[in-house]
Protein backbone atom coordinates (compact mmCIF):
# COMPACT_ATOMS: atom_id res chain seq x y z
CA UNK A 1 0.00 0.00 0.00
CA UNK A 2 1.43 3.32 -1.03
CA UNK A 3 1.87 6.04 1.57
CA UNK A 4 0.28 8.94 -0.27
CA UNK A 5 -0.07 12.61 0.52
CA UNK A 6 -2.41 15.42 -0.44
CA UNK A 7 0.05 17.92 -1.90
CA UNK A 8 -2.32 20.68 -3.12
CA UNK A 9 -5.99 21.64 -2.99
CA UNK A 10 -7.91 23.84 -5.41
CA UNK A 11 -11.37 25.39 -5.37
CA UNK A 12 -12.94 26.80 -8.54
CA UNK A 13 -15.70 29.15 -7.37
CA UNK A 14 -16.67 30.15 -10.93
CA UNK A 15 -16.97 27.30 -13.40
CA UNK A 16 -14.16 27.37 -16.01
CA UNK A 17 -12.41 30.39 -14.46
CA UNK A 18 -9.08 30.32 -12.60
CA UNK A 19 -8.79 28.22 -9.46
CA UNK A 20 -8.10 29.31 -5.90
CA UNK A 21 -5.30 27.36 -4.17
CA UNK A 22 -6.31 26.57 -0.59
CA UNK A 23 -4.60 24.90 2.35
CA UNK A 24 -7.85 23.65 3.87
CA UNK A 25 -11.39 23.21 2.65
CA UNK A 26 -14.57 21.83 4.09
CA UNK A 27 -16.11 18.90 2.23
CA UNK A 28 -19.85 18.56 1.72
CA UNK A 29 -21.96 16.38 -0.51
CA UNK A 30 -21.29 18.67 -3.51
CA UNK A 31 -17.52 18.65 -3.05
CA UNK A 32 -15.18 21.28 -1.64
CA UNK A 33 -16.81 24.35 -0.13
CA UNK A 34 -17.74 27.05 -2.71
CA UNK A 35 -16.51 24.92 -5.60
CA UNK A 36 -18.30 25.74 -8.89
CA UNK A 37 -21.18 27.50 -7.21
CA UNK A 38 -21.09 30.29 -9.84
CA UNK A 39 -21.16 30.08 -13.63
CA UNK A 40 -20.81 32.43 -16.61
CA UNK A 41 -23.65 32.18 -19.14
CA UNK A 42 -24.71 33.85 -22.35
CA UNK A 43 -27.69 36.21 -22.41
CA UNK A 44 -30.03 33.23 -22.74
CA UNK A 45 -28.58 31.65 -19.58
CA UNK A 46 -26.76 28.86 -21.39
CA UNK A 47 -23.45 27.98 -19.75
CA UNK A 48 -20.14 29.12 -21.19
CA UNK A 49 -16.70 27.60 -20.60
CA UNK A 50 -13.17 28.00 -21.89
CA UNK A 51 -14.21 25.81 -24.80
CA UNK A 52 -16.05 28.83 -26.23
CA UNK A 53 -14.33 31.70 -24.38
CA UNK A 54 -10.66 31.01 -23.67
CA UNK A 55 -10.21 34.28 -21.76
CA UNK A 56 -12.28 32.87 -18.92
CA UNK A 57 -9.01 31.30 -17.76
CA UNK A 58 -7.80 34.82 -16.94
CA UNK A 59 -10.71 35.65 -14.63
CA UNK A 60 -9.31 35.18 -11.14
CA UNK A 61 -11.71 34.67 -8.22
CA UNK A 62 -10.60 35.64 -4.70
CA UNK A 63 -12.25 35.60 -1.29
CA UNK A 64 -12.34 38.64 0.97
CA UNK A 65 -13.72 39.35 4.42
CA UNK A 66 -13.98 35.67 5.26
CA UNK A 67 -13.48 33.84 8.54
CA UNK A 68 -12.03 30.47 7.49
CA UNK A 69 -13.66 28.48 10.27
CA UNK A 70 -17.04 29.96 9.33
CA UNK A 71 -16.72 29.91 5.54
CA UNK A 72 -14.99 26.52 5.49
CA UNK A 73 -12.08 27.60 3.28
CA UNK A 74 -8.47 28.64 3.93
CA UNK A 75 -6.99 30.40 0.84
CA UNK A 76 -3.29 29.72 0.29
CA UNK A 77 -2.23 32.85 -1.58
CA UNK A 78 -0.72 35.66 0.47
CA UNK A 79 -2.98 38.30 -1.10
CA UNK A 80 -6.01 36.33 -0.05
CA UNK A 81 -4.56 35.81 3.41
CA UNK A 82 -4.24 39.57 3.85
CA UNK A 83 -7.86 39.99 2.85
CA UNK A 84 -8.91 37.46 5.46
CA UNK A 85 -7.65 39.79 8.18
CA UNK A 86 -10.53 42.13 7.40
CA UNK A 87 -12.98 39.75 9.02
CA UNK A 88 -15.36 42.60 9.90
CA UNK A 89 -16.03 43.08 6.20
CA UNK A 90 -18.93 41.18 4.68
CA UNK A 91 -17.66 37.99 3.02
CA UNK A 92 -17.40 38.47 -0.72
CA UNK A 93 -16.22 36.75 -3.87
CA UNK A 94 -13.94 39.14 -5.75
CA UNK A 95 -13.30 38.79 -9.49
CA UNK A 96 -10.11 40.25 -10.90
CA UNK A 97 -7.91 39.42 -13.89
CA UNK A 98 -4.60 37.64 -14.04
CA UNK A 99 -2.84 39.77 -16.66
CA UNK A 100 -4.60 42.89 -18.00
CA UNK A 101 -6.93 45.69 -16.99
CA UNK A 102 -8.62 45.88 -20.37
CA UNK A 103 -11.13 43.73 -22.14
CA UNK A 104 -11.01 42.53 -25.71
CA UNK A 105 -11.14 45.08 -28.50
CA UNK A 106 -11.58 48.65 -27.27
CA UNK A 107 -13.82 47.84 -24.30
CA UNK A 108 -12.32 48.73 -20.94
CA UNK A 109 -13.19 47.27 -17.59
CA UNK A 110 -15.39 49.65 -15.60
CA UNK A 111 -13.26 48.86 -12.53
CA UNK A 112 -10.23 46.73 -11.62
CA UNK A 113 -12.31 44.26 -9.64
CA UNK A 114 -15.94 43.42 -9.06
CA UNK A 115 -17.52 41.72 -6.05
CA UNK A 116 -20.54 39.58 -5.24
CA UNK A 117 -21.60 38.64 -1.69
CA UNK A 118 -20.96 35.10 -0.49
CA UNK A 119 -24.30 35.08 1.31
CA UNK A 120 -27.67 36.38 0.22
CA UNK A 121 -29.83 37.90 2.93
CA UNK A 122 -33.20 36.38 3.72
CA UNK A 123 -34.93 39.54 2.57
CA UNK A 124 -33.09 39.53 -0.76
CA UNK A 125 -33.87 35.87 -1.35
CA UNK A 126 -37.51 36.53 -0.62
CA UNK A 127 -37.59 39.24 -3.30
CA UNK A 128 -35.70 37.26 -5.94
CA UNK A 129 -37.00 34.69 -8.36
CA UNK A 130 -34.39 32.21 -9.61
CA UNK A 131 -33.85 31.98 -13.35
CA UNK A 132 -33.53 28.71 -15.25
CA UNK A 133 -30.01 28.13 -16.57
CA UNK A 134 -28.67 25.39 -18.80
CA UNK A 135 -25.55 23.42 -17.94
CA UNK A 136 -25.09 20.62 -20.46
CA UNK A 137 -28.49 18.90 -20.69
CA UNK A 138 -29.65 20.05 -17.26
CA UNK A 139 -31.95 22.99 -16.58
CA UNK A 140 -31.28 24.16 -13.03
CA UNK A 141 -32.32 27.10 -10.80
CA UNK A 142 -29.84 29.94 -10.30
CA UNK A 143 -29.75 33.53 -9.11
CA UNK A 144 -28.60 36.19 -11.56
CA UNK A 145 -25.85 38.16 -9.78
CA UNK A 146 -26.86 41.46 -11.39
CA UNK A 147 -25.82 43.98 -14.00
CA UNK A 148 -22.63 45.31 -12.42
CA UNK A 149 -20.75 42.01 -12.51
CA UNK A 150 -22.32 41.20 -15.90
CA UNK A 151 -20.96 44.44 -17.38
CA UNK A 152 -17.51 43.75 -15.92
CA UNK A 153 -17.33 40.23 -17.31
CA UNK A 154 -18.81 41.24 -20.66
CA UNK A 155 -16.15 43.95 -21.08
CA UNK A 156 -13.33 41.58 -20.28
CA UNK A 157 -14.60 38.59 -22.26
CA UNK A 158 -15.68 40.65 -25.24
CA UNK A 159 -19.25 39.37 -25.45
CA UNK A 160 -22.50 39.81 -23.49
CA UNK A 161 -22.56 37.44 -20.52
CA UNK A 162 -24.24 36.99 -17.15
CA UNK A 163 -22.96 35.56 -13.88
CA UNK A 164 -25.32 33.18 -12.10
CA UNK A 165 -25.22 31.34 -8.80
CA UNK A 166 -26.59 27.86 -8.22
CA UNK A 167 -29.57 27.67 -5.83
CA UNK A 168 -28.40 24.92 -3.50
CA UNK A 169 -31.73 24.64 -1.70
CA UNK A 170 -33.60 23.88 -4.92
CA UNK A 171 -30.96 22.18 -7.04
CA UNK A 172 -31.15 18.47 -7.73
CA UNK A 173 -28.15 17.85 -9.99
CA UNK A 174 -26.44 14.51 -9.46
CA UNK A 175 -23.17 12.89 -10.44
CA UNK A 176 -23.39 12.20 -14.17
CA UNK A 177 -21.01 9.30 -14.66
CA UNK A 178 -20.97 6.07 -12.67
CA UNK A 179 -23.05 7.38 -9.79
CA UNK A 180 -22.50 5.20 -6.68
CA UNK A 181 -25.45 3.14 -5.49
CA UNK A 182 -26.85 2.90 -1.98
CA UNK A 183 -24.91 -0.33 -1.50
CA UNK A 184 -21.64 1.34 -2.52
CA UNK A 185 -22.10 4.22 -0.12
CA UNK A 186 -23.36 2.14 2.78
CA UNK A 187 -20.38 -0.18 2.45
CA UNK A 188 -18.00 2.76 2.36
CA UNK A 189 -19.65 4.25 5.46
CA UNK A 190 -19.26 1.00 7.34
CA UNK A 191 -15.68 0.49 6.27
CA UNK A 192 -14.51 4.06 5.96
CA UNK A 193 -12.49 4.05 9.18
CA UNK A 194 -11.63 0.36 9.36
CA UNK A 195 -8.23 -1.12 8.58
CA UNK A 196 -7.13 -4.70 8.19
CA UNK A 197 -4.33 -6.21 10.35
CA UNK A 198 -1.76 -5.06 7.78
CA UNK A 199 -2.89 -1.47 8.20
CA UNK A 200 -4.61 -1.27 4.82
CA UNK A 201 -8.14 -0.13 4.27
CA UNK A 202 -10.53 -2.81 3.14
CA UNK A 203 -11.40 -2.51 -0.53
CA UNK A 204 -14.78 -2.27 -2.17
CA UNK A 205 -15.81 -5.28 -4.21
CA UNK A 206 -15.66 -3.65 -7.63
CA UNK A 207 -13.25 -1.23 -9.29
CA UNK A 208 -14.37 2.07 -10.84
CA UNK A 209 -16.93 1.42 -13.56
CA UNK A 210 -16.06 2.24 -17.17
CA UNK A 211 -17.49 5.66 -17.96
CA UNK A 212 -19.68 4.39 -20.77
CA UNK A 213 -21.56 1.92 -18.61
CA UNK A 214 -22.63 4.24 -15.80
CA UNK A 215 -25.86 6.15 -15.40
CA UNK A 216 -25.94 9.55 -17.08
CA UNK A 217 -29.37 10.50 -15.77
CA UNK A 218 -29.89 13.36 -13.36
CA UNK A 219 -32.41 11.36 -11.34
CA UNK A 220 -31.63 8.99 -8.50
CA UNK A 221 -30.74 5.56 -9.76
CA UNK A 222 -32.00 3.90 -6.58
CA UNK A 223 -35.43 5.54 -6.39
CA UNK A 224 -36.75 5.50 -2.84
CA UNK A 225 -33.58 3.74 -1.70
CA UNK A 226 -31.26 6.48 -2.95
CA UNK A 227 -28.31 7.11 -0.59
CA UNK A 228 -28.33 10.14 1.69
CA UNK A 229 -25.45 11.61 -0.30
CA UNK A 230 -25.95 10.27 -3.82
CA UNK A 231 -23.17 12.35 -5.31
CA UNK A 232 -24.85 15.71 -5.69
CA UNK A 233 -23.09 18.36 -7.76
CA UNK A 234 -23.61 22.06 -8.28
CA UNK A 235 -22.25 23.33 -11.61
CA UNK A 236 -19.36 20.94 -12.25
CA UNK A 237 -19.51 18.71 -15.31
CA UNK A 238 -19.59 15.22 -13.86
CA UNK A 239 -18.66 14.67 -10.21
CA UNK A 240 -18.26 16.54 -6.91
CA UNK A 241 -14.47 16.16 -6.72
CA UNK A 242 -11.69 15.59 -9.25
CA UNK A 243 -8.45 14.01 -8.07
CA UNK A 244 -5.16 13.94 -10.00
CA UNK A 245 -1.64 12.69 -9.33
CA UNK A 246 1.66 14.52 -9.64
CA UNK A 247 3.27 11.27 -10.77
CA UNK A 248 0.77 10.92 -13.60
CA UNK A 249 1.42 14.52 -14.63
CA UNK A 250 5.18 13.85 -14.63
CA UNK A 251 4.62 10.81 -16.84
CA UNK A 252 2.74 12.96 -19.34
CA UNK A 253 5.33 15.73 -19.27
CA UNK A 254 8.08 13.28 -20.14
CA UNK A 255 6.29 12.80 -23.47
CA UNK A 256 5.74 16.51 -24.23
CA UNK A 257 8.09 18.96 -25.90
CA UNK A 258 6.82 21.68 -23.60
CA UNK A 259 5.72 20.49 -20.13
CA UNK A 260 2.38 21.64 -18.72
CA UNK A 261 1.35 22.25 -15.14
CA UNK A 262 -1.58 20.82 -13.27
CA UNK A 263 -3.76 23.88 -13.95
CA UNK A 264 -4.49 22.45 -17.40
CA UNK A 265 -6.45 19.65 -15.70
CA UNK A 266 -8.23 21.62 -12.96
CA UNK A 267 -8.26 19.05 -10.14
CA UNK A 268 -9.58 19.71 -6.66
CA UNK A 269 -7.13 17.31 -5.00
CA UNK A 270 -3.56 16.75 -6.13
CA UNK A 271 -1.73 13.81 -4.62
CA UNK A 272 1.87 12.66 -4.47
CA UNK A 273 4.03 10.06 -2.80
CA UNK A 274 5.25 11.28 0.58
CA UNK A 275 8.75 10.06 -0.14
CA UNK A 276 9.10 11.93 -3.43
CA UNK A 277 6.95 15.02 -2.79
CA UNK A 278 8.73 18.38 -2.75
CA UNK A 279 5.59 20.11 -1.55
CA UNK A 280 5.59 18.63 1.95
CA UNK A 281 8.29 20.49 3.84
CA UNK A 282 6.81 20.30 7.33
CA UNK A 283 6.24 16.83 8.80
CA UNK A 284 4.18 18.37 11.61
CA UNK A 285 1.13 19.11 9.47
CA UNK A 286 0.08 16.56 6.87
CA UNK A 287 -2.91 14.70 5.54
CA UNK A 288 -2.32 11.28 4.07
CA UNK A 289 -4.37 9.14 1.75
CA UNK A 290 -5.05 5.49 2.36
CA UNK A 291 -6.06 3.97 -0.96
CA UNK A 292 -8.12 0.84 -1.43
CA UNK A 293 -7.49 -1.17 -4.58
CA UNK A 294 -9.70 -3.85 -6.01
CA UNK A 295 -8.84 -6.60 -5.73
CA UNK A 296 -6.77 -5.81 -2.63
CA UNK A 297 -3.20 -6.74 -3.42
CA UNK A 298 0.33 -5.93 -2.45
CA UNK A 299 1.15 -2.45 -3.72
CA UNK A 300 4.59 -1.00 -4.45
CA UNK A 301 6.21 1.14 -1.79
CA UNK A 302 6.02 4.22 -4.02
CA UNK A 303 3.12 5.74 -5.94
CA UNK A 304 3.31 5.01 -9.66
CA UNK A 305 1.80 6.98 -12.58
CA UNK A 306 -1.93 6.37 -12.96
CA UNK A 307 -2.02 4.02 -9.98
CA UNK A 308 -5.02 6.06 -8.84
CA UNK A 309 -7.05 4.28 -11.53
CA UNK A 310 -6.92 1.07 -9.47
CA UNK A 311 -8.52 2.59 -6.38
CA UNK A 312 -12.13 2.28 -5.32
CA UNK A 313 -12.06 4.31 -2.13
CA UNK A 314 -9.59 6.71 -0.53
CA UNK A 315 -9.48 7.94 3.04
CA UNK A 316 -7.70 11.20 3.83
CA UNK A 317 -6.43 11.16 7.41
CA UNK A 318 -5.26 14.30 9.27
CA UNK A 319 -2.00 13.46 11.02
CA UNK A 320 -1.38 16.12 13.69
CA UNK A 321 -3.02 17.99 16.53
CA UNK A 322 -3.54 21.09 14.39
CA UNK A 323 -5.58 19.13 11.86
CA UNK A 324 -9.30 19.85 11.45
CA UNK A 325 -11.63 18.49 14.12
CA UNK A 326 -15.26 17.61 13.75
CA UNK A 327 -17.51 20.63 13.77
CA UNK A 328 -19.71 18.97 16.36
CA UNK A 329 -17.25 17.84 18.99
CA UNK A 330 -13.96 19.59 18.25
CA UNK A 331 -12.31 16.34 19.25
CA UNK A 332 -10.57 13.68 17.16
CA UNK A 333 -9.58 14.64 13.61
CA UNK A 334 -12.05 13.21 11.12
CA UNK A 335 -10.88 11.14 8.14
CA UNK A 336 -12.48 12.14 4.85
CA UNK A 337 -13.66 9.21 2.74
CA UNK A 338 -14.19 9.49 -1.01
CA UNK A 339 -15.46 6.87 -3.42
CA UNK A 340 -13.39 6.80 -6.62
CA UNK A 341 -16.13 6.32 -9.19
CA UNK A 342 -14.73 6.79 -12.71
CA UNK A 343 -11.95 8.13 -14.88
CA UNK A 344 -12.16 11.73 -16.08
CA UNK A 345 -12.27 11.91 -19.86
CA UNK A 346 -10.60 14.95 -21.41
CA UNK A 347 -11.65 17.54 -23.99
CA UNK A 348 -10.07 20.45 -25.86
CA UNK A 349 -10.23 22.68 -22.77
CA UNK A 350 -7.08 20.84 -21.65
CA UNK A 351 -5.14 22.61 -24.44
CA UNK A 352 -5.99 26.09 -23.17
CA UNK A 353 -3.03 27.93 -21.65
CA UNK A 354 -4.09 29.07 -18.14
CA UNK A 355 -1.71 32.06 -18.35
CA UNK A 356 -2.88 33.41 -21.73
CA UNK A 357 -6.31 31.89 -22.35
CA UNK A 358 -5.10 30.80 -25.80
CA UNK A 359 -5.31 27.21 -27.04
CA UNK A 360 -2.08 25.43 -27.92
CA UNK A 361 -1.70 25.52 -31.74
CA UNK A 362 -0.25 21.98 -31.69
CA UNK A 363 -3.26 20.69 -29.74
CA UNK A 364 -1.12 19.74 -26.76
CA UNK A 365 -1.30 18.14 -24.28
CA UNK A 366 -4.53 16.52 -25.52
CA UNK A 367 -2.88 15.14 -28.68
CA UNK A 368 -0.29 13.27 -26.61
CA UNK A 369 -2.89 12.06 -24.14
CA UNK A 370 -4.90 10.67 -27.04
CA UNK A 371 -1.85 8.68 -28.16
CA UNK A 372 -1.61 6.60 -24.98
CA UNK A 373 -4.42 7.41 -22.56
CA UNK A 374 -7.51 6.11 -24.39
CA UNK A 375 -7.80 3.49 -21.69
CA UNK A 376 -11.41 3.48 -20.55
CA UNK A 377 -13.40 0.59 -22.07
CA UNK A 378 -16.59 2.61 -21.72
CA UNK A 379 -15.30 5.57 -23.77
CA UNK A 380 -12.63 4.53 -26.25
CA UNK A 381 -12.66 7.82 -28.14
CA UNK A 382 -11.53 10.09 -25.32
CA UNK A 383 -8.29 10.21 -23.37
CA UNK A 384 -8.32 10.03 -19.58
CA UNK A 385 -6.50 11.95 -16.87
CA UNK A 386 -7.63 12.16 -13.24
CA UNK A 387 -10.35 10.39 -11.29
CA UNK A 388 -13.88 11.48 -10.40
CA UNK A 389 -14.70 11.10 -6.71
CA UNK A 390 -17.83 11.25 -4.55
CA UNK A 391 -17.68 12.17 -0.83
CA UNK A 392 -19.21 9.71 1.62
CA UNK A 393 -21.18 11.22 4.47
CA UNK A 394 -20.10 10.29 7.98
CA UNK A 395 -22.72 12.39 9.77
CA UNK A 396 -20.38 15.41 9.98
CA UNK A 397 -18.85 17.85 7.59
CA UNK A 398 -15.17 17.06 7.11
CA UNK A 399 -12.14 19.02 6.05
CA UNK A 400 -9.09 18.37 3.91
CA UNK A 401 -5.71 19.84 4.79
CA UNK A 402 -2.45 20.14 2.86
CA UNK A 403 0.99 20.42 4.49
CA UNK A 404 2.03 23.85 5.68
288-317 pLDDT, tens digit per residue, is: 555 554 332 334 447 899 999 988 888 887
Cis peptide before 295 (omega within 30 of 0): yes
Report DSSP letters for 158-226, one per residue. TS--EEEEE-TTT---B--SS---HHHHHHHHHHTT-B-TTSPBPPPSSPPPPGGGS---SS-TTGGG-
Residues 188, 232, single domain; the answer is: yes
Residues 235, 363, single domain; the answer is: yes
Cα R_g (the chain), whole angstroms: 21
Report DSSP letters for 30-64, one per residue. TEETTTT-EEEE-TTSBB--TTT-GGGGGEEEEEE
- In the chain, the percentage of residues whose pLDDT exceeds 90 is 49
Which domain range does residue 179 map to? 4-8+174-401
Residues 149, 186, single domain; the answer is: no
Residues 219, 99, single domain; the answer is: no
Last residue of a domain, one of 135, 166, 197: 166
Give the pLDDT band of residue 191 (cuts 50, 70, 90): low
Question: pTM of this prediction?
Answer: 0.83
How many domains are there within the chain?
A: 2
226-261 pLDDT, tens digit per residue, is: 445 557 899 999 999 999 999 999 999 999 999 999
18-66 pLDDT, tens digit per residue, is: 999 999 898 888 999 999 999 999 999 999 999 999 999 999 999 999 9
Residues 151, 179, single domain; the answer is: no
Cis peptide before 402 (omega within 30 of 0): no
Last residue of a domain, one of 143, 166, 189: 166
Task: Tell me how far apart the alpha carbons of residues 113 and 100 are, in angstroms, rounded to a whole number.
Answer: 11
Residues 135, 206, single domain; the answer is: no
196-225 pLDDT, tens digit per residue, is: 333 333 333 344 555 543 333 333 344 444
Residues 123, 243, single domain; the answer is: no
Residues 220, 159, single domain; the answer is: no
Beta strands at 241-245 and 269-273: parallel, antiparallel or unpaired: parallel
Phi, psi of 120 (to 5 degrees): -100, 135
Residues 247, 333, single domain; the answer is: yes
Residues 86, 214, single domain; the answer is: no
Residues 222, 358, single domain; the answer is: yes
328-360 pLDDT, tens digit per residue, is: 445 555 678 888 989 999 999 999 999 999 999
Last residue of a domain, one of 109, 136, 166: 166
Query: What pLDDT sits at residue 333?
Result: 58
User: From start to end of 326-391, where are the E strands?
Assistant: 336-345, 384-391
Residues 184, 161, single domain; the answer is: no
Amino acid sequence: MSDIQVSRLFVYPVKSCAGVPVTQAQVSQTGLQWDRQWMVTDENYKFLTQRQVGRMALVKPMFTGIVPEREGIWPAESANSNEIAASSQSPQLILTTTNSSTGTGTSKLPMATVAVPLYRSESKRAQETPVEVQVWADIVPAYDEGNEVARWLSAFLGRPVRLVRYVIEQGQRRTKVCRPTSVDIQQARLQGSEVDPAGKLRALQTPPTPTGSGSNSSSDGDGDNAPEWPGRIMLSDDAPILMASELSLADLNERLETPVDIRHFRPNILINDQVTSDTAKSPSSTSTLSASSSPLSTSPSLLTPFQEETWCRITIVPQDKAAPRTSETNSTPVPTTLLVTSRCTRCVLTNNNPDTGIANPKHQPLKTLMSYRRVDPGDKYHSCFGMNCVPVRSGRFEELTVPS
